[in-house]
Structure 1
Amino acid sequence: MAAAASAPEAPLSMAVDRSMSDTRMAPERVHEIVLHEDPVDKSRETGQPSILTTGLTLIAVGVALFLVWQTVSSLLIVFAGVLFAAFLDAAARALAPVLPLSRAWRLTLVLLLLSAISGFGLAWGAGKLPEQTRLLLKVMDTQVDILQEHLLSYGVDLLGPEWGRDFAQWLFANQGRFLSHAHFLLGGASSLLTGMLVVLFLGILFGFDPTSHRESLVTLVRPSYRARARAVMDEMGSVMRLWFVGQLIRIILMTACVWLALYLIGLPGPFVLGLQAGLSNFIPYLGPIIAAIPIALVAMPLGASLLVWAVVVYSIIQSIEGYVIGPLIQRKAVETPPAWTLVAIVLLGALFGVMGIALAMPLVAIGRVAIIRFYVEDYLSEDLEPATNKRE
């Protein structure tokens, strides 16, 4: 009987023990389920940033953009220094097969050659440029007289009766006006000289030690991505070298051709007109049109035949340079569609003035490299080579 009575008690005690064990394990199971279904851990496992991280990133980007906007003029000067360093590096690389010297000695030789060429140009231009400038001002003054006479026949007084049509009288008649012009010119000249010196010294410092300056920026990237960032920055440097050397070649060719052509047809001040036509190549599409205006103004009062000759000769030279020589020189450096380049020139010119216009083309070139490499290829994981081959 005792054995029979104890038999039903055994299952009952086992059930009570199991229920107590389940009761003790309940908090632990709940804690385990909560940890397993924690959304924070899910975001960590999937690699998605949290809301706090996204907010801090947006704030940091906004602050960085604000600082860039406030210091954009200085940043453009720094970028001009980087461009000059790229030119020095290209010149040193070109001398490597000829002179078996170290890179520092080749850069020193390049700087000495540039200093000698600049000194010779200043010494030669000091005697030529003032004379040609005076001739151009006299011719333009004559053209203003002719224009004023035509407008007076329609009852329009261009310059007004109190100033007349003499530029010298307009400039020096009023001492207050003269002092204001002098102050403006001196301030502009000092700012330009300061900017040129900063660009010069930055270019020299960057040119003599480009690796350490590049690595100082690469260290800001996470270690697993530094090799990629280093390769993209090297590609940007190559683009800047090709663009600057190509622009320098185009300026020299355009200046020489226009100078010779205008000298042969007998136009006054051919070197000044040729120089401004060559420098206008820094502004694609708009620059050549602007450079044609002084040539037409100088040739206009000298007769219709000389005006036609000057416009036709300049148009032919500019067409050959713009459609044949320029694309051959810059085809490896800048592959941006012309419309986007023109949009960048207009926007940067409206925002940042002359510096924005002058540096729009190289900024577009390296910006294109950054967008393609970092955004399209790395973020979107899209390879553009098949599309390029199909287009070709």
Structure 2
Amino acid sequence: MAEDESTPPTAPRVEAEEVKAGARSQPLSDRLRPQHLYRAVGLAFLLALLFRFFDEITQVFLLMYAAAIIAIGLNALRRLIPVQRKWLAAGIGLAVVGGFVAAVAFGAPLLLQQMRDMAGQGPAFTEQIKNMEGWLRENTGMNIKFPPPQKMLAGLSPGGSVMGSAASLLEVLFIPLILFFGALFALATPNDRLLTPLLRIVPDDLRTAWYRIFQLLGERLLGWLKGVGIAMMGVGLLSVLAFWLIGVPNALLLGLFSGLTEFLPLVGPWLGGGAAVGVALMDDPTKGMWTAVAALAIQQIEANLITPWAMSRSAEIHPFVTLFALVLFGSVFGFLGILLALPLVMLVWTVVQVLWVERAIETDGERIANVVKE
């Protein structure tokens, strides 16, 4: 079913040259008017509110941004399924809820059993740590003391943010529900009461630039979602298969955990592979060695085959930038900042590219010589 004839036309594709032309369309003297003083006062008031409620506002912004990213991914289905948005959103909601119920009904018993087995290995893990300390003391002479597992986990407990306040299981599950249904609402009606009001508050001479920001950011986030999703599924399936063939206990749970941690750039593969190696070592040192080899091999496959094939070049970010983005956004925003580090880099990158590089200094078309010899 096609869209209603009364639906406003889709905005045309905006190129960088149009953004530059808009920047030169008005002289500077025409843009400096007395009413801008009132806008400056209002902006100062908003900045004061932002400073006073920084933690709360940033956590809500990150949740809204995460929901928007999910909506961008779901919007890709709109190009493949020609139905009205509201019916597509309703169908996706029913399909996801039904799939979740079926997964809980059929897969939960096995996962719960493996989780109980993992929890029961806590005393064995503590004993393994003590044995490792003794081995290091005897063979190296160093008196190394590893912290007990309880303190390791306590150090990972989140603070006072939205994620940190999710103390119970119901509260932890509440946040994904907010993100999912927020994405469905954005998918169902993205223009009338969402993007169009946002563009109305943008000055006319900047509106073309912001159209380009939305379009370019959407393309980059969609390419990133595609690459990350395929990488997570590939690593998860390969990990389950490899751990099962090696004979690692709870291979399904550990493989799924490895796939989920692939969402975290750089550090995620080490978390997933390290957990599997630790469990395998407690069962058999030989299995631990082969599990480490398998985890490294899977990460090489992911880094050199899966991600280059699946990830759009417009969404690729240099590992140097990725590393320090994790540090920066993790320090400022906490756990949510770590999860959304790369999308936040894409947001900043796109805004700077369009509003500064393309619109102001116009160096995007220049050829820049290599600084470092290849």
By how many angstroms is 1:300 displaced? 0.8
Q: The residue matched to 2:358 in structure 1 has which SS?
A: helix
Deviation at 1:381, TM superposition (A): 2.5
Residues 60 and 374 (structure 1), Cα distance of their counterparts in 2 relative to 1, 3 Å cut: farther
State the 1:128 CA deviation: 0.9
Query: In the superposition, relative to structure 1, how do residues 274 and 333 fare at CA in structure 2: closer, same or farther (>3 Å)?
Result: farther
- Secondary structure at the residue paired with 1:109? helix
| Cα distance, 1:364–1:47 mapped onto 2, change above 3 Å | same
Aligned counterpart in structure 2 of residue 246 of structure 1, from 223, 227, 234:
227
Instruction: Report the residue type matching 1:347 in the other structure.
Output: L
Partners of 2:166 and 2:53 in 1: CA distance: 28
Task: Indicate whether 1:197 and 2:177 are aligned.
Answer: yes
1:322 pairs with 283, 286, 303, which one?
303
CA contact (8 A) 1:89 1:107 kept: no
Match of 1:144 in 2: 126
**Do the aligned partners of residues 107 and 328 (structure 1) sit closer, same or farther apart at CA in structure 2, a change above 3 Å counting?**
same
Query: In the alignment, which of 40, 45, 48 is matched to residue 63 of structure 1?
Result: 48
**Residue aligning to 2:92:** 110
CA RMSD of aligned residues (A): 3.5
Query: Cα deviations across residues 240-262 of structure 1 (Å, max 9, x unaligned)?
Result: 22222322222111111101110
Local SS of the residue matching 1:282: coil
Deviations 1:119-139 (A, max 9, x none): 222222321111111222334
Equivalent residue letter for 1:203: A
Alignment of 1:165-184 (within 5 A): none
Q: Please, which of 58, 62, 70 is the counterpart of residue 84 of structure 1? A: 70
Q: Would you say 1:74 and 2:21 are equivalent positions?
A: no
Deviation digits for residues 207-253 of structure 1 (CA, Å, limit 9, x no counterpart):
11112211111111112332331232122122222222322222111
Q: Does 1:126 align with 2:96?
A: no
Work out whether 1:310 is the aligned partner of 2:291.
yes
Offset at residue 44 of structure 1 (A): 7.3
Displacement of 1:201 in angstroms is 2.1
CA contact (8 A) 2:239 2:295 kept: yes
Structure 1 position 352 matched with structure 2 position 333 = yes
Alpha-carbon distance, 1:339 to partner: 0.8
Deviation at 1:386, TM superposition (A): 4.4
Distance (Å, rounded) in 1 between the aligned partners of 2:185 and 2:64: 12
Contact 1:265 1:310 (8 Å CA) reproduced: yes
Change (3 A) 1:186 1:211: closer
**Paired residues of 2:213 and 2:354 also in contact (CA < 8 A):** yes
Does 1:226 find its partner at 2:207? yes
CA contact (8 A) 1:280 1:288 kept: yes
Residue of structure 1 equivalent to 2:343: 362
Q: CA deviation at 1:267?
A: 0.6
> Which of 1 and 2 has higher RCO (CA within 8 Å, sep 6+)?
2
Q: 1:327 to 1:158 in 2, by over 3 A?
A: closer
TM-score normalised by the chain length of structure 1: 0.72
**Alpha carbons of 1:333 and 1:61: their partners in 2 closer, same or farther (altered >3 Å)?**
farther
Bigger drift between 150-159 and 104-113 goes to 150-159
Aligned amino acid, residue 289 of structure 2: V
Seen in structure 2, the aligned counterparts of structure 1 residues 344 and 201 have a Cα distance that, compared at 3 Å, is same
Residue 155 of structure 2 corresponds to which residue in structure 1? none
Q: Distance in 1 between matches of 2:369 and 2:64?
A: 33
Distance 1:152 1:335, change over 3 A: closer
For residues 69 and 319 of structure 1, what CA distance do their matches in structure 2 show?
A: 40
Identity %: 24
SS at the partner of 1:378?
helix
1:275 to 256, 259, 264: 256
**Partner Cα distance (2:147, 2:61) in 1:** 41
Gaps of 5+ in 1: 1-42, 168-183
Q: Which moved more, 1:318-327 or 1:53-62?
A: 53-62
Structure 1, 150-159 or 205-214: larger mean CA deviation? 150-159
Distance 1:204 1:150, change over 3 A: closer
Distance 1:380 1:107, change over 3 A: same
Deviations 1:165-197 (A, max 9, x none): 9x9xxxxxxxxxxxxxxxx99724343233222
Deviation sequence 1:17-50 (CA, Å, 0-9, x none):
xxxxxxxxxxxxxxxxxxxxxxxxxx97596789
Task: Note closer, same or farther for the CA distance 1:387–1:151 as it changes in structure 2 (3 Å cut).
Answer: closer
Q: Deviations over 1:276-300 (max 9, x none)?
A: 1111121111111122221111111
Note if contact 1:91-1:110 (Cα within 8 Å) is conserved in structure 2.
Answer: no
What amino acid does structure 2 have at the position aligned with 1:288? Answer: P
**Cross-structure match for 2:279:** 298
TM-score (norm 2): 0.75
Structure 1 Cα separation of the partners of residues 67 and 269 of structure 2: 25
User: Is contact 1:87–1:241 with CA below 8 Å preserved after alignment?
Assistant: yes
Q: Highest Rg: 1 or 2?
A: 1
SS at match of 1:187: coil
Q: CA deviation at 1:347?
A: 1.4
> Normalized per residue, which structure has more helix?
1
Q: 1:141 to 1:46 in 2, by over 3 A?
A: same
